[in-house]
């Protein structure tokens, strides 16, 4: 592969990762709005279904985003044409992104739990 092809290939992976990351943020925001507006009024069965759907979709989309960024890093390393000037452009940042996305999911679930406990206390 020529350096231009490597850059284009890694760019496609990065673009796909950013697209999936924006979908993740949209799903997370929708879940938080739903939790705030209707979380206290949900029955247990509805809560279980919504939480399972949220966990499944956010997990798949988050994994897809991280995987696309990792694939871009692999392409850069395999063909020796790093796009960024950082010594390890993907290794540490992929783990950081994974932790941040996981914290977002668990934070949203905690928010739903707090909304429901607040309603129970009232």
> Which pair of tokens denotes residue 90?
């993907």
Confidence at residue 109, expressed as pLDDT on a 0 to 100 scale? 94
Checking if the pLDDT of 61 tops 70, the result is yes
Asked whether residue 6 carries a pLDDT value surpassing 60, the answer given is yes
Arithmetic mean of pLDDT, 31-47: 91
Q: Which residues contact 98 (CB under 8 A, 6 or more apart)?
A: 62, 66
Q: What is the pLDDT of residues 81-106, one digit of tens each?
A: 555 555 565 577 888 889 999 999 99
For residue 56, CA distances in Å to 6, 20, 62, 63, 87 come to: 33, 14, 10, 10, 34
Across the chain, what does the average pLDDT equal?
A: 85
pLDDT tier, 52 (very low <50, low <70, confident <90, very high otherwise)? very high
Q: CB of 65 within 8 A of CB of 96?
A: no
pLDDT of residue 28: 95
pTM over 0.75: yes
Both tokens assigned to 70: 């990792």
State the DSSP code for 39.
G
9-43 per-residue burial string, b: 16 or more CB within 10 A, e: under 16 = bbeebbebbeebbebbeebbeebbeebeeebeebe
What burial class does residue 57 get, using C-beta atoms within 10 Å of its C-beta: 0-12 exposed, 13-18 middle, 19+ buried? middle
């Amino acid at each position: 592969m020529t350096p231009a092809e490597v850059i284009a290939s890694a760019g496609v992976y990065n673009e796909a990762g950013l697209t999936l990351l924006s979908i993740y943020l949209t799903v997370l925001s929708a879940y938080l709005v739903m939790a705030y507006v209707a979380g206290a009024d949900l029955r247990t069965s509805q809560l279980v279904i919504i939480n399972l759907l949220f966990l499944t979709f956010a997990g798949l989309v988050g994994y897809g985003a991280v995987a696309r960024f990792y694939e871009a890093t692999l392409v850069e390393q395999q063909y020796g044409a790093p796009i960024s000037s950082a010594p390890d452009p993907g290794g540490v940042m992929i783990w950081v992104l994974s932790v941040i996305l996981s914290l977002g999911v668990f934070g949203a679930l905690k928010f739903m739990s707090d909304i429901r406990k607040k309603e129970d206390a009232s």
